[in-house]
């Protein structure tokens, strides 16, 4: 099964990234990028965390904590498997973009 793939421009904390994405996953990718950017802006704007790499790690920890709370609230093996697959796919796309020279400035 070959899904049509498109390149999607996403903006995270005022930096643009191009990510390859199946067409049907485009809205989820954009929403994920907006959510991540918002979390990173919240952390950066507190002034308590210095450095983009630390802001990104803190945002990732906060989002992972939210995921674990949500997962524990409604245990559903099918939803967990689907979420894990989507997160794995998103991680692979972001890693691919970063490998192509579009790394976060530290």
Domains of the chain (ranges, CATH numbers)? 5-99 (3.30.160.880)
pLDDT recorded at residue 42: 93
The parts of the chain modelled with pLDDT lower than 50 are 1, 103-106
Q: What is the reported pTM?
A: 0.65
The residue assigned the tokens 């950017």 is 37
Q: Are 12 and 52 in contact (CB under 8 A)?
A: no
Could you give the 3-state DSSP secondary structure of residue 47?
A: coil
pLDDT recorded at residue 61: 92
pLDDT recorded at residue 59: 92
């Amino acid at each position: 099964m070959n899904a049509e793939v498109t390149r999607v421009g996403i903006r995270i904390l005022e930096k643009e990234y191009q990510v390859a994405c199946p067409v049907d996953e485009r809205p989820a990718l954009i929403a994920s990028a907006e959510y991540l950017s918002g979390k990173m802006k919240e952390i950066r704007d507190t002034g308590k965390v210095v450095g983009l790499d630390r802001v990104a790690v803190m945002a990732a920890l906060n989002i992972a904590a939210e995921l674990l709370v949500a997962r524990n609230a409604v245990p559903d093996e099918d939803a967990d498997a689907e979420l894990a697959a989507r997160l794995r796919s998103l991680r692979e796309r972001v890693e691919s973009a970063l490998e192509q020279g579009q790394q976060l400035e530290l």
